[in-house]
C-alpha cells in the first residue's frame, strides 16, 4: 500500500509537471528527491517485517510516512508544480513532527532494547529450576574474586539419585526448588550462591567474620526439608581462599573436601587445609 501510494503521488507530480511544461526543472535536485522517496518507501515497507508489535514501531512508521510526504512536497516544489512558499510551508509542517516522532520512538526503542537485554542476560545467568545463579554466573563471579580473599564451598545433596529413583524426578525437582529457596535467603552482597550442576551448589563468601556459622546455618536449614518423614541432608566441602590464590585451585580444594565429607558418611562439613588434613564438622 505504501509503494502504491508513493508511486501514485510521485506519478501525479511528474504528470502535472509535464502538463504545466515544467519538465525543464528535472535536475539533480529532482533526482535526489526521487531517490529519497524510493529509499523512504522501501524503509517503511521494510519496517513491517519487524514482528514485535510495540507502539514505538508504529510511531516510527508514522514519522517515516510524514517524512516521505515532506520529500514528495519538496519534489513538487522543485518541479514548480506548486510555488516555493507553499512547498516550504508543507515540507516544514510535515518535517518537524516527523523528527519529533523519530526522537520519541528512538527513546522508547532504547528503553525497550535495554529492558530486553537485561532480561536475556538475567535468563542466561539464572538456573531455571531453582532461580539461583547458574554455573555460567558462578564462573563470572570466580573471575571477579580472583584477587580477593574469602571462602569457597561446594555442597551436594546426599543420595539424590536415590530420591529420584524412589520418589520420581518430580520429587527430585521439588527438593531442588526447596533447596534453592532456602539458599536464596542467604544471598547478599558478600554471599554468592549458585547451582553449579545437578544436585551440586557452590557458595562463595567474601569479607565475613562469621563464615563457619553461615555454612553451618545453611546446612541446618536444608536439613529441615523432608520427604515422607526422611530428612534431606547435604555434604559440604569448604576451602579458604587467600587473596593470592587462584579460584581454580581453591575450587579444587573444596571439591576434595566435599569428597572427604561423602567418604566419611555424608551429612558433614569438611574444611580443607594446605597440609591436607581435613577438619570435619558434623
Other beta carbons within 10 Å of 104: 14
Q: Where are the beta strands (DSSP E) in the chain?
A: 150-157, 191-197, 200-206, 226-227, 230-231, 234-241, 269-272, 279-281
Answering whether pTM is above 0.85, one says: no
pLDDT (tens digit per residue) in 195-218: 999 999 999 998 766 677 889 999
In angstroms, rounded to a whole number, what is the distance separating the alpha carbons of residues 104 and 85?
Answer: 29
Query: What's residue 205's pLDDT?
Result: 92
CA distances from 47 to 53, 61, 70, 114, 125 (A): 11, 7, 19, 20, 32
Per-residue pLDDT for the chain (282 aa), expressed as one digit of tens each?
Answer: 777 877 777 777 777 777 766 656 666 777 887 888 888 888 888 777 776 656 667 888 888 888 888 888 888 777 777 777 888 888 888 888 888 988 888 888 888 888 888 888 878 899 999 999 999 999 999 999 998 899 999 999 999 999 999 999 999 999 999 999 999 999 998 999 999 999 999 999 987 666 778 899 999 999 999 888 889 999 999 999 988 889 999 999 999 999 999 999 999 999 987 655 656 665
In 3-state terms, what secondary structure has residue 132? coil
Amino acid at each position: 500500500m505504501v509503494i502504491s501510494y508513493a508511486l501514485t503521488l510521485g506519478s501525479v507530480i511528474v504528470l502535472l509537471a509535464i502538463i504545466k511544461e515544467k519538465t525543464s526543472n528535472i535536475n539533480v535536485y529532482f533526482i535526489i528527491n526521487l531517490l529519497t522517496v524510493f529509499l523512504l518507501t522501501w524503509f517503511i515497507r521494510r519496517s513491517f517485517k519487524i514482528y514485535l508489535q510495540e507502539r514505538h514501531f508504529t510511531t516510527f512508521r508514522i514519522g517515516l510516512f510524514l517524512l516521505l510526504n515532506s520529500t514528495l512536497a519538496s519534489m513538487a516544489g522543485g518541479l514548480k508544480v506548486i510555488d516555493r512558499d507553499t512547498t516550504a510551508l508543507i515540507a516544514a509542517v510535515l518535517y518537524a513532527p516527523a523528527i519529533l516522532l523519530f526522537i520519541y520512538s528512538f527513546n522508547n526503542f532504547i528503553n525497550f532494547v535495554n529492558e530486553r537485554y537485561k532480561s536475556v542476560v538475567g535468563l542466561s545467568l539464572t538456573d531455571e529450576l531453582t532461580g539461583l545463579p547458574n554455573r555460567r554466573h558462578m564462573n563470572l563471579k570466580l573471575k571477579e574474586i580472583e584477587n580477593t580473599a574469602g571462602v569457597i564451598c561446594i555442597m551436594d545433596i546426599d543420595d539424590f539419585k536415590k530420591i529420584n529413583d524412589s520418589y520420581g524426578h518430580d520429587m527430585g525437582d521439588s527438593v531442588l526448588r526447596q533447596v534453592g529457596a532456602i539458599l536464596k535467603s542467604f544471598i547478599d552482597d558478600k554471599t554468592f550462591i549458585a547451582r553449579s550442576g545437578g544436585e551440586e551448589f557452590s557458595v562463595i563468601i567474601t569479607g565475613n567474620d562469621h563464615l563457619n556459622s553461615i555454612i553451618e546455618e545453611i546446612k541446618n536449614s536444608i536439613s529441615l526439608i523432608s520427604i515422607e518423614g526422611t530428612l534431606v541432608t547435604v555434604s559440604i566441602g569448604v576451602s579458604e581462599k587467600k587473596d593470592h590464590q587462584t579460584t581454580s585451585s581453591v575450587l579444587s580444594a573444596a571439591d576434595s573436601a566435599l569428597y572427604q565429607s561423602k567418604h566419611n558418611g555424608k551429612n558433614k562439613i569438611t574444611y580443607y587445609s594446605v597440609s591436607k588434613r581435613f577438619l570435619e564438622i558434623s
